[in-house]
Amino acid sequence: MEKPYVIGMDMGGTNTVFGIVDTRGTVISKSAIKTSTHPDDVNLYINDIYVELSKLIDAAGGIDKIKGIGVGAPNGNYYTGNIEFAPNLPWKGVIPFAKLMAEKFGVPAALTNDANAAAVGEMTYGAAHGMKNFIMITLGTGVGSGIVIDGKVVYGHDGFAGELGHVNVMRNNGRLCGCGKSGCLETYASATGVARSAREILETSTKDSLLRNIPVDIITSKDVYDAAIQGDEVAKEIFNFTGKILGEAIADFVAFSAPEAIVLFGGLTKAGDLILNPIVENMEKNLLPIWKGKVKVLFSDLKEADAAVLGASALAWEL
Amino acid sequence: MEKPYVIGMDMGGTNTVFGIVDTRGTVISKSAIKTSTHPDDVNLYINDIYVELSKLIDAAGGIDKIKGIGVGAPNGNYYTGNIEFAPNLPWKGVIPFAKLMAEKFGVPAALTNDANAAAVGEMTYGAAHGMKNFIMITLGTGVGSGIVIDGKVVYGHDGFAGELGHVNVMRNNGRLCGCGKSGCLETYASATGVARSAREILETSTKDSLLRNIPVDIITSKDVYDAAIQGDEVAKEIFNFTGKILGEAIADFVAFSAPEAIVLFGGLTKAGDLILNPIVENMEKNLLPIWKGKVKVLFSDLKEADAAVLGASALAWEL
């Protein structure tokens, strides 16, 4: 008998979410652990997953019901099953993660970039349903991307295509990125980038702001959002700056693959029009005439964690 | 009987080259006209082509031997056969060029971006032979690009993908581009970009240079090359600057599609190592660790005009 379930797992810089998914794409159960509890040993991290996930597997009828595990992870390589040199994860170098998971659980495992997995989820169940050319950009702890051309995720020559969080958006005095470079998109357009922008603006201006009630070192993107919806001008300026950088970068991405839409996903999208308006305005300003007014910018309409879990799980059906 | 020939045509900002190609990919005859003689009427331009091309067609045995015409043109749309809003061509708006050519010659015609056509030529006969993931960048009057992923040219949602000459490489005080935007790659990394760099450097410095023997308004990229191979420091600085901008941009392109190679084509490649060394050095500096030392930068090994003509001609076999 065909096994009725797959496991989808989304590894983020902060949290790792996993769930059991049925053939219809329903997440029937879900749990999560912190990603960085064991920075020195990935096997202890896998053990934490095993403990939590085994509860869900048992409730679903045991490991015999599970066809395989699909993993979305930063710098996950679809071709090799390795996580290689991921700047936002605690484990350095090359981690044969798909192999380790398969050995631990006794079922096959496949792996891709977390954002590629989210793109597959979005194409199958979400805002990009029916689209053959779109770019998914995940705005979380970092900035990830999944590029879909002619209905297929672009993996490139080596399996690592779609690292749009690390294109340069500031050649001079750009912010230092976790990857070792400076001026990467993700140092500006991620949740942590918004917090850095807040600190910079508060420290270099004397403008009044609700954000001055919070110690500058612990301001988060959510604090900026909370201030902005109360009309705080500095907070709105921070979203305008973030949206400008992202919109300008997106215009260059359009010049590459001429997508029908850009789908945005992740924590920053909770800012709604505060971030969407400056993105669209600055994208349009920087598009070639042939694309002006033609490229949709959409927010994911899947529940934030589900898109990545569903996308990752889709990999497992193909095992 | 199968018709034995196709016509390949490459429309550049300056020259239009066309040739008759046989089934083996040999250009059996070739001619050219200027592109901009009739800026007000594209039909007069087509008539010029007709006069010249008819001589080649007659010598090949008449129009009955010709299966069709493939055209590579700036902003050429593979899906519609139109040239739309091409910044480096004299005719504005939307030109139904494939249709006009088909009517004039009485054979089918297809059209794509000139750089996409060159990429097909390179993949079939040139430096990218056997590669499934590469990016072709044409460094001529402007900067064009043809992106190949999984062995296929990327056309995108609307047929216009691959306009990498118009990504932004200078957010502040960027040079005005023919497309209406500022800071586009092609304002720096084209033959005209090199000439602009020469003028800028000569006018803002007092350094000695062989280039000061030439009136500043008529300096060409060839003059810069001639000075550089004689050891002129200012001329070498111009190529270093051009290569730096191009190498930095290429690093971002790699983050998009993870190609096996970048293939460079067109006038600027005649500068050889003077341009290649700074390109590679600055690309490497800006690559993510996963790609350092892994991406080839190659010059086209096809004769300059033939790659585009051969690539365009390949479209016609599929008609």
Tokens of residue B243, six digits: 């290569």
Per-residue pLDDT of B179-207, as tens digits, reads: 999 999 999 999 999 999 999 999 999 99
Distance from CA of B214 to the nearest CA of A (A): 33
Residue pair B9/B71 in contact by the 8 Å Cβ criterion: yes
Are the beta carbons of A181 and B255 separated by less than 8 Å? no
Nearest to A303 by CA among A74, A125, A76: A125
* Interface residues from chain A to B (CB-CB < 8 Å): 75, 84-85, 132-133, 147, 149-150, 152, 154-164, 166-168, 170-171, 179-181, 248, 251-253, 255-260, 286, 288-291, 294
Q: Reply yes or no on whether the pLDDT at B243 is more than 90.
A: yes
Go through the domains of chain A in sequence order and give each one's CATH number: 5-120+305-317 (3.30.420.40), 131-301 (3.30.420.40)
Where does residue B37 rank: exposed (0-12), middle (13-18), buried (19+ CB within 10 A)? exposed
Q: How much is the pLDDT for B54?
A: 97
pTM comes to 0.88
Provide the shortest C-alpha distance from residue B116 to chain A (in Å). 12
Judged against a pLDDT cut of 80, whether residue A124 lies above it is answered with: no
Range of weakest confidence among A108-122, A179-193, B252-266, B281-295: A108-122
Per-residue pLDDT band at B144 (split at 50, 70, 90): very high
pLDDT in tens, B274-299: 999 999 999 999 999 989 999 999 99
B119, pLDDT greater than 70: yes
The residue to which tokens 């590629």 are assigned? A116
Task: Give the β-pairing of B296-299 and B261-265.
Answer: parallel
Q: Which of the residues A167, A177, A282 would you substitute to probe the B interface, choosing the one with the greatest number of B C-beta atoms within 10 Å?
A: A167
Going by C-alpha positions, the residue among A290, A225, A291, A301 that lies closest to residue A263 is: A301
CB-defined contacts A:B, below 8 A: 126
**Buried b / exposed e along B84-113 (16+ C-beta atoms within 10 A):** bbbbbbebeeebbbbebbbebbebbbbbbb
Using a pLDDT cut of 90, give the percent of chain B over it. 80
Cβ <8 Å between A288 and B85? yes
Residues of B in Cβ contact (< 8 Å) with A179:
288-289
pLDDT at B318 over 80: no
Contact list, B164 vs chain A (CB under 8 Å): 255-256
Please indicate whether, in this complex, the C-beta atoms of A168 and B252 are within 8 angstroms of each other: yes
| Statement: residue A318 has pLDDT above 80 | no
Q: Which pLDDT band, with edges at 50, 70 and 90, does A212 fall under?
A: very high
Q: Which residue of A has its CA nearest to B168?
A: A252
Of B167, B251, B257, the CB nearest to A252: B167
pLDDT for B34-92, tens place per residue? 999 999 999 999 999 999 999 999 999 999 999 999 999 988 899 999 998 887 799 98
